[in-house]
Structure 1
């Protein structure tokens, strides 16, 4: 028997169509109930509970109880990154679902990937920060430069607070729709929160879509020289 991580077990948990729909719904970072996830998966509540029990046992999702309800979230940002990579592979090799309507272009333009910006705008952010020498990439991953540290403070982001978390400050995440990198990690999440605070963008109701105002998109483009 081969030693090491059992990727077959994880792949089996992610590969079921109903479970894949549930996990995709949770990529927006919101906690959802079993009933809500059943609707997302197109299955009965009883079937959804069975799927969620398997995902919980496999440590793919984490339950949270509040009052009479149990809510589920993804167990960590690495699950989101794995799902984004799988979505990118499916898109590249042509295993795509039929497009459902006008939301798809919006999802491709700007969406939340767990808690950071993805889509065309997310890729533009990564490229813009790189061109401005605010972040740099090497074999060890992505890191803020000295100029990036200065920028973060000027932009209203508390790096000391971010560093106190166990999560990496910067992390590269492969965007499924653009097939290029966007910025994950606590700094990527803080940037998106800052865009919300500044009124540049807002989160779509019950959706992963991020909608920038006209002025917000102009300010964003100035920020990344896009």
Structure 2
């Protein structure tokens, strides 16, 4: 039989599990994230996060997108509105562990992707280069947002950017010579871009991206959090320099 009252309790029960809510909260800003990333942010095992995602997909609260061998998950339908409504009526949770979520947050903020910058810092620097004319878009679409057909968490085979007329001035202020980077790149492309998995925007790779990352590290604007770890720390000096030279304003 159909046509009875809607089963609100069944849907509400999905929000009653703290771990499941952490998964939903991680997706709350509109990003599509891999199960492994959600497991790290929610403090779950791979099996645990898969079980939660299966229930959320069955309820229509989460949808999946395949990119290569991986699946990326995002909120579906009105799930974001439900989360926001519940948040307005919910008390703040006490902080029980200083380590909770710090590694995942550090990776989202700034990290290396091979030898170039990624995370929020990487996409903000890339966007600033476009805004200042060091890079220009060639597809008529302003900004560095995801284009139709861009695959998540992958280098882009083709990209809609070129070196802009202001590149010598803008990059020179950062201590880089466009001609020197071009001369030393060998067979490597000057420009290459990835769709950043945590920000869903483009970040700069290629020879120029690698040169920028090396420059920021050499200047002490960025430091590695620990050997072998991809997460980077923005120093106070680096925050001031990026604000002055690129208008990128992020707290150290």
Q: TM-score range by the shorter chain?
A: 0.5 to 0.7
Q: Is the 8 A contact 1:112 1:118 kept in 2?
A: yes
Q: Does 1:130 align with 2:130?
A: yes
Alignment match, 2:190: 169
1:209 aligns with 2:228: no
Match of residue 84 from structure 2: none
Q: Give the TM-score, by structure 1 length.
A: 0.54
Larger Rg: 2
Distance (Å, rounded) in 2 between the aligned partners of 1:118 and 1:152: 18
Displacement after TM superposition at 1:159 (Å): 3.0
**Matched-pair contact (CA < 8 Å) for 2:168–2:177:** no
Q: 1:49-68 to 2 correspondence within 5 Å?
A: none
Q: Which runs of 5+ in 1 are unaligned?
A: 1-20, 22-84, 95-99
Aligned residues of 2:174 and 2:245 also touching (Cα < 8 A):
no
Shift of 1:91: 4.7
Structure 2 CA distance for partners of 1:120 and 1:87, relative to 1, 3 Å: farther
Distance, in Å, in 2 between the alignment partners of 1:187 and 1:168 is 9
SS at structure 2 position matched to 1:103: helix
| Runs of 5+ consecutive residues of structure 2 not aligned to the other structure | 1-35, 37-66, 77-99, 140-158
Give the 3-state SS of the residue equivalent to 1:146 in structure 2: coil
Question: Number of matched residues?
Answer: 139
The aligned counterpart of 1:34 is none
| 2:220 aligned counterpart, secondary structure | coil
| RMSD between superposed Cα atoms in Å | 2.8
Listed one character per residue, the Cα deviations across residues 132-175 of structure 1 (whole Å, up to 9, x for unaligned) are: 11111214632221211233344332433432421111222110
In structure 2, do the counterparts of structure 1 residues 86 and 118 end up closer, same or farther at CA, with 3 Å as the change threshold?
A: farther
TM-score by length of 2: 0.49
Distance 1:197 1:86, change over 3 A: farther
Q: In 2, Cα distance between the equivalents of 1:87 and 1:202?
A: 32
Structure that is richer in helix per residue: 1
Report if the CA contact (8 A) 2:173-2:245 is conserved.
Answer: no
